[in-house]
Amino acid sequence: MSADDDHDLLTGLYTPARAREVLGEWLGVGDTRVHGLLLVLGRFDSVNIAHGTSAGDFALTEVARRIAHFGQDEFADDAWFAARLDGGKFLLATREPCSRERWQFLAEALADTVAQPLAGASVGLPQLWPHIALVRALSGDDPTSMLSRLSDAQIALKGEAGRRVVWIDRDEAPPGIDTARVEAELRRALDQGAVSLMFQPQFALADDRLVGAEALVRWDQPLLGSIGGEALLRIAARADLTTQLTRKVVGAALKSVLKWPAGLKCSINVTAADLAVARFPREMLDMVGDLAVDPERITLEITEQALLGDLDLAARSLGLLRDAGMRIALDDFGAGFCNFGYLKYLPLDIIKLDRIMLDGVAENPRDRAVLRAVVALARALDLQVLAEGVENEAQRQIAAEEGCTAYQGFLRSKPLTQEDFLQLTGKSG
C-alpha cells in the first residue's frame, strides 16, 4: 500500500485530497453522470474501544478491500475510485452512465458485502453495519457542493430507522426495486442460458506470451444494466441459485475452452456454496468428462471467504479435483488478513496476488519488500504466483523481477468477449 500523498497509508485507497482532485477533474467537464456513495460503518467505534486500535485497523483494511473489489467488478478501470475520508467513512464514486435504480441496487449489494463477518482477526469482531448515502451530480456541481451534500448523510441515515441506504436528494429517489422480480429474472436467465462470460487474459511474465484467461460472469438485467462479481453473487445467494450459477459458468467456460488454441488454460471461480456440497467434485469431473476437456486446462480459483465453512471438506474436494489434473489457485492473496495456514493445508498450485500487493511497489521500498517476501514464501512451497491488477509497465517489470510467474490486468487487456479473446489468440470464432 502506497504511503504517497494520493493514497491512504492504512487502506491504500485515495486520500480525501485526492478524491476531491479527481472529482474536480470529472465535474470540471460538466459531467453530470458522476454518482457518489458515502459508506459509514456502524459500530466501528466499539471495535476500537473493545478490541484496540490494531483490531480497528484490521476492520478498516478489510472493508477497504471489499469496497475496492466491488468497484473493480462493476466499473471500467478509469471510471471509478474509492477513498477513505475519515475513520470509518468511505467514498465510492463513478462517472460511468448509471441509472438511479442501478446505483441504488449496487449500494444495497455493497452493504451486503461489507456486512459479512470479519474473518481472520486475532479476536472475534462484531459485525459492522454499513449505512450508505447516495447522490448524483447536478449541473454546476463542484467537489465541495457534491461532498457537502454527502456530508449530510449521517443526519439522513439517522432519520431513516431500519434503512441502510438513503438518497440525499430525496425528491429524486427512484421507486423501490422489486428484489423478488430480479431474482425470478435471474432464475429465468439461468434456465435460458442468458448469462454471458467475459475473459480476462493472463500472460507469462518471462516472455509476455498469452497463457490463458479468467472467466468472469456477467448478466445484462433490463433495469439494472450489466451486473457481475459480488452484486450478481448476492442476487444468486438470496434466490438460492449460487450452485446453479456456478454450473452455468463452468459449462460455458468449458465449451469456450474447446475453441481455444491447445495449451491455454481457463480459470473458474468457485464459491463457498459450491465447496459446501459434497458432490461438487464429482459434478465438476462429470462436466469435464462429458465435454472431453483436458482437466489440466482448468484452474479453480477460491478465496478465503469460500474457505470459512468446512475447511476439511473443502480440502478433500479440492484434492480430488487436483488429483484429476486441475490446478487450484488461492485468489486475492495479500488483501486484508492472510491465513498462511491455508498454504500448507490446502492442495494449492498457485497464489493470485491481490492488486493491492502491487499498489505502490514502484515508489515504496517497504511495499516491494512485502511483495518479495510473499513471492519467496510461495516459491519455497513450490507455488506459482500470478499478479492481478497490473496497470502499468513499472508494476509488470517489478513483478517479473521479484519472481512472479504470470500476470493479468489492464496493462495488456481488459476483459474480452469470447470472440475478441479468440482474435487475441490468433484464431477466429
Q: Phi and psi of 103, rounded to 5°?
A: -65, -40
Per-residue model confidence (pLDDT) at position 176: 54
DSSP string over 194-221: --EEEEEEEEETTT--EEEEEEEEEEEE
Cell triple for residue 155?
Answer: 443526519
CB atoms within 10 A of CB 412: 16
State residue 330's pLDDT score. 92
Q: Which of 20, 3, 19, 21 is nearest to 11 (CA)?
A: 3
* Residue 309: per-residue pLDDT: 66
Map out the domains of the chain with their CATH numbers.
16-176 (3.30.70.270), 180-425 (3.20.20.450)
Q: Where are the beta strands (DSSP E) in 87-239?
A: 89-94, 129-136, 165-167, 196-204, 210-221, 225-228
**What is the full per-residue pLDDT of the chain (429 aa) written as tens digits?**
444 678 888 888 999 999 999 999 999 877 778 999 999 887 676 666 666 777 788 888 889 988 998 998 888 878 999 999 988 899 999 999 888 888 988 998 899 888 887 765 555 566 778 889 898 888 888 898 888 888 766 655 655 556 788 887 654 444 556 677 888 889 999 998 889 999 999 999 999 999 999 999 999 887 778 888 888 887 888 888 999 999 999 999 999 999 999 999 999 999 888 988 899 999 999 999 999 999 999 999 998 766 666 788 889 999 999 999 999 999 988 765 556 778 888 899 999 998 888 877 888 888 899 899 999 999 999 999 999 989 899 999 999 999 999 999 989 999 999 999 999 998 765
pLDDT of residue 49: 61
DSSP states of 33-44 as a string?
T-EEEEEEEETH
- Write down the pLDDT at residue 317: 94
Q: How far apart, in whole angstroms, are the C-alpha atoms of residue 226 and residue 224?
A: 7
Helix (H) / strand (E) element for 268: namely: strand 265-269
Please tell me what DSSP assigns to residue 416: B
Residue 418 and residue 219 in contact, taking contact as beta carbons nearer than 8 Å: no
Cβ of 327: how many Cβ atoms within 10 Å? 20
| Three-state secondary-structure class, residue 329 | strand
- Work out the widest C-alpha separation in the chain, in whole angstroms: 61
Instruction: Check residue 98 and give its pLDDT.
Output: 87
Global model pTM greater than 0.85: no
Cell 470529472 belongs to residue: 26
